Chains A and B, each alone.
Chain A
């Protein structure tokens, strides 16, 4: 798979583990007292798993497996948009997890836009790829 996809997938795996560990703490706290309150971590749990894991994995796999005819036309721009999506998505997850919700979401919207720009031309049937 392309290097950027490998980074997407590896980052997604990191978010998966961290998100599940926090989720495990939240669930355990419903059964026994843990000695601390893990519930302020709930928004981070959701952010890590929804954006950091699922959305990130989908982006990484899409960059890997979608048709690549268009990449030959503008390889540099394609690489830049994919890497930018990766950087912005992870920066957004960090910002939201740090409590900077609005800033984080704006950065994530930038990631989504960059990802869409990257993938848009690749969503095409074979032979009709000159868009």
Chain B
């Protein structure tokens, strides 16, 4: 399994535990409902899909079996930076709107959307009909 796939899958498992922890604490769930959902749906499920697809989809070429490394690494960083920013900033701003600047959520949104685009661009050429 390539290192980046291991990073994806291990990160996914950490988000799974974090998401279930948030879900197990009713006061946290009340404040951070959307955060809880996205820890599981983006952090766990989507990240696990990204990791396994990066690992197991058909090879792009003999020289670059998993497509562009830079795009793939950027995708991992953007997804996780975006999600962590969201996990921190969204509940804090919900409780105390002046505690953190609002543009942090803009950055979080852009980063995650860019990660989706990066994954699609890197995966598309590996979807081969045989």
Q: A residues bordering B, Cβ < 8 Å?
A: 1-3, 6, 9-10, 13-14, 16-17, 19-21, 23-28, 30-32, 49, 53-54, 57
Complex Cα gap A49–B102 (Å): 25
Complex Cα gap A53–B45 (Å): 11
Number of chain B interface residues as a range: 20 to 34
Q: How far is the CB of B12 from chain A (nearest CB, A)?
A: 14
Across the interface, name the chain A residue whose C-beta is closest to B101: A31
Number of A-B pairs whose CB atoms are under 8 Å? 78
Interface of chain A: mostly helix, strand, loop or mixed: helix
Contact indicator B127/A6 (Cβ below 8 Å) = yes
Does chain A have a CB within 8 A of B106?
yes
Complex Cα gap A49–B130 (Å): 27
Q: Given the interface contacts A3-B129, A31-B103, A49-B41, does A23 sit within 8 Å of B112 by beta carbon?
A: yes
Complex Cα gap A127–B124 (Å): 35
Which of A6, A27, A30, A57 has the largest number of chain B CB atoms within 10 A?
A27
Across the interface, name the chain A residue whose C-beta is closest to B105: A31
Contact indicator A13/B93 (Cβ below 8 Å) = no
Complex Cα gap A17–B102 (Å): 23
Across the interface, name the chain B residue whose C-beta is closest to A33: B102
Contact indicator B102/A24 (Cβ below 8 Å) = no
Q: Inside 8 A of B105's CB, which chain A residues have their CB?
A: 27-28, 30-32
Complex Cα gap A38–B113 (Å): 15
Contact with A along B89-126 (1 / 0, CB 8 A): 11001000000011111101110110111011001100
